[in-house]
């Protein structure tokens, strides 16, 4: 995915991935094959992670006996599956089309949870890949040392950092960015950018804790980039709305993605494929730029829906906020989200939908699929039941299943976003399970249109209100002056009207003392 208008990023491409998610190979649901099939629907790269180690598992607490047994059983299952898992992940890696990395998860009350990633050489033999170890380290320093001793390029990335230290939140006193250039700040657990903001921690593991957040660590002088991941447990990497990462890399290969991660050229997303380019003077996302009191800041955002605002923060404080163009636009580029689902509880709907654009041009299709919720236990044996196919220049089809939304604030819908070139007379025709529904872009400029498949509380389709390009694309430039004595940092966040977000990795500017 190229965006040549992003100054400074002209030689890079934008790729989307999810490198922390699970299936039934440890504890979780669904097969690895289903997880990889789901990942290919809407990601460029992935790692399906194996729960594997917990050295300080609270085994002496009788009240936690179920929890202890659950994890021990999962870890034993993981070790049995590890050799076949490594072979399957290696076979799935397709340089230039779809990239995979093997990984395992190391839990710790004291140090916080970390995922360990390997980057096998493209020339590595199957025998050497099969020798990649699950490392049963007693503590984080030992884990790092034994990772280095493998001789294989490796990463040790903390996740759900926002829990209190001692309760599986991060221990910043032991943080080292040599093997941890990135930190996961968003997943189904919630958002750990700061103590405020959207997506609070609601998991049984507890609330978020201010001293564990990313802003606290940046203010303490630590240098790391950020990503989002789903931490999905039902074989659906990239599940829409639960966390993804964007990466600016030279190509879609293991080594290029790895290099971009090492350079912190990454950002965190909730769901939409928000494209975000950002620089301070000549420094790009993740860089530590030379000292300068005057800073010229440039950014561009291409969203998946109307942008509510774009913010630039300096040392964790908002210094600039940009709002989108809001007038009615009657022709040009637009994005329209088509969503399927709803209906009564205990009712499952199988969908076969074909969408055609008439009197306009279908420019791009963005899948927005999520599958079963990350921690649902649906009692089903099939976890890969969604497919998408582009049919000619102006038509796309998808098949999927939906259930009733589990709560009034949690979606179980499926769908896709259509980017089109058209005007008020452009029409959309959706044939869903043999029934035809039609709507004009002129109608969608003023609001969404809903269509029911039957009577009251039957499943429904929704064409959401169209977003004109002027409202989903923002470019900003401004200058900022700092005293320049100490190293400081800038980062961006984006909020859309559909409550999808993006947060960039910082750009640091060296202080005079450096």
- Residuewise pLDDT in 10s, the chain (514 residues): 445 457 789 899 999 999 999 999 999 999 999 999 999 999 999 999 999 999 999 988 888 898 889 999 999 999 999 999 999 999 999 999 999 999 999 999 999 999 999 999 777 777 788 999 999 999 999 999 999 999 999 999 999 999 999 999 999 999 999 999 999 999 999 999 999 999 999 999 999 999 999 999 999 999 999 999 999 999 999 999 999 999 999 999 999 999 999 999 999 999 999 999 999 999 999 999 999 999 999 999 999 999 999 999 999 999 999 987 777 889 999 999 999 999 997 789 999 999 999 999 999 999 999 999 988 877 778 999 999 999 989 999 999 999 999 888 899 999 999 999 999 999 999 999 999 999 999 999 999 999 999 999 999 999 999 999 999 999 999 999 998 889 999 999 999 999 999 999 999 999 976 5
pLDDT of 2 reads 46
Whether 92 and 177 map to the same domain: the answer is yes
Return d(Cα 195, Cα 169) in angstroms, integer.
Answer: 14
Is 7 within a domain? no
Nearest to 374 by CA among 240, 194, 219: 240
Q: Specify the pTM.
A: 0.96
Backbone angles phi, psi at 239, to 5 degrees: -50, 125
Whether 255 and 111 map to the same domain: the answer is yes
End-to-end CA distance of the chain: 37
Whether 194 and 237 map to the same domain: the answer is yes
Whether 345 and 439 map to the same domain: the answer is yes
476-512 as b/e: b if 16+ CB within 10 A:
beeebebebeebbbbbbbbbbbbebbbbbbbbbbbee
pLDDT of 370 reads 96
Whether 23 and 140 map to the same domain: the answer is yes
Total domain count for the chain? 3
Are 286 and 264 in contact by the 8 Å Cβ rule? The answer is yes
Is 25 within a domain? yes
Nearest to 354 by CA among 319, 320, 387, 321: 387
Alpha helices in 165-237 (DSSP H): 214-219
pLDDT of 484 reads 82
What is the domain-level CATH number for residue 450?
2.60.40
Are 27 and 49 in contact by the 8 Å Cβ rule? The answer is no
pLDDT of 3 reads 52
DSSP 403-435: E--SBTTB---EEEEEEEEEETT-EEEEEETTE
pLDDT of 513 reads 67
Whether 175 and 98 map to the same domain: the answer is yes
Is 45 within a domain? yes
Are 268 and 61 in contact by the 8 Å Cβ rule? The answer is no
Q: Which domain holds residue 320?
A: 295-324+472-509
Whether 436 and 309 map to the same domain: the answer is no
pLDDT of 514 reads 58
Whether 466 and 482 map to the same domain: the answer is no
Is 1 within a domain? no
Whether 337 and 450 map to the same domain: the answer is yes
Number of Cβ within 10 Å of residue 148's Cβ equals 13
Is 251 within a domain? yes
Is 301 within a domain? yes
pLDDT of 5 reads 55
Whether 405 and 266 map to the same domain: the answer is no
Is 3 within a domain? no
Whether 51 and 24 map to the same domain: the answer is yes
pLDDT of 506 reads 98
pLDDT of 466 reads 97
Whether 463 and 477 map to the same domain: the answer is no
Is 31 within a domain? yes
């Amino acid at each position: 995915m190229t965006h040549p208008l992003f100054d400074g990023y002209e030689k890079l491409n934008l790729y989307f991935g999810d490198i922390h998610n699970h299936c039934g190979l440890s504890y979780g649901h669904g097969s690895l094959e289903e997880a990889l099939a789901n990942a290919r629907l809407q990601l460029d790269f992935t790692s399906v992670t194996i729960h594997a180690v917990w050295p300080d598992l609270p085994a002496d607490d009788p009240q936690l006996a179920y929890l202890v047994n659950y994890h021990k059983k999962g870890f034993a299952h993981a070790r049995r599956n590890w050799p076949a898992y490594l072979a399957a992940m290696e076979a799935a890696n397709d340089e230039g089309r779809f990239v995979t990395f093997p990984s395992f998860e190391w839990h710790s009350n004291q140090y916080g949870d970390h995922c360990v990633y390997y980057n096998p050489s493209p020339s590595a033999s199957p025998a050497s890949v099969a020798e990649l170890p699950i490392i049963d380290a007693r503590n984080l320093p030992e884990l790092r040392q034994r990772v280095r001793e493998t001789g294989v390029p490796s990463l040790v990335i903390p996740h759900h950092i926002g829990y209190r230290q001692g309760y599986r939140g991060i221990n910043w006193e032991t943080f080292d960015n040599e093997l941890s250039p990135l930190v996961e700040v968003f997943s189904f657990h919630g958002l750990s950018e700061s103590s405020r903001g959207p997506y609070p921690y609601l998991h049984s593991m507890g609330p978020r804790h201010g001293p564990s957040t990313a802003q606290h660590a940046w203010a303490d002088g630590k240098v790391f980039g950020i990503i989002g991941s789903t931490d999905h447990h039902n074989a659906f990497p990239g599940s829409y709305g639960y966390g993804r990462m964007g990466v600016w890399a030279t190509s879609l290969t293991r080594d290029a993605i790895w290099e971009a991660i090492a350079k912190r050229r990454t950002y965190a997303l909730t769901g939409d494929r928000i494209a975000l380019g950002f620089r301070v003077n000549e420094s790009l996302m993740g860089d530590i730029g030379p000292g300068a009191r005057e800073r010229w800041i440039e950014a561009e955002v291409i969203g998946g829906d109307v942008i509510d605002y774009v913010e630039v923060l300096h040392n964790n404080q908002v210094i600039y906020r940009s709002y989108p163009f809001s007038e009615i636009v009657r022709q040009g580029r637009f994005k329209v989200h088509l969503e399927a689902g709803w209906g009564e509880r205990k009712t499952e709907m199988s969908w076969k939908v074909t969408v055609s654009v008439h009197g306009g041009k279908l420019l791009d299709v963005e899948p927005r699929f999520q599958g079963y919720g990350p921690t649902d236990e649906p009692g089903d044996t099939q976890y890969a039941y969604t497919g998408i196919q582009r049919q000619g220049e102006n038509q796309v089809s998808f098949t999927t299943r939906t259930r009733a939304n589990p709560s009034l604030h949690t979606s179980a819908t499926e769908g896709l976003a259509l980017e089109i070139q058209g005007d008020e007379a452009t029409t959309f025709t959706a044939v869903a399970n043999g029934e035809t529904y039609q709507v004009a872009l002129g109608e969608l400029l003023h609001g969404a249109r809903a269509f029911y498949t039957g009577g009251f509380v039957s499943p429904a389709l929704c064409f959401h209100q169209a977003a004109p390009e002027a409202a989903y694309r923002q470019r900003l430039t401004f200058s900022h002056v700092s005293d320049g004595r100490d190293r400081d940092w800038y980062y961006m966040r984006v909020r859309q009207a559909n409550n999808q977000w993006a947060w960039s990795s910082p750009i640091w500017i060296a202080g005079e003392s450096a």
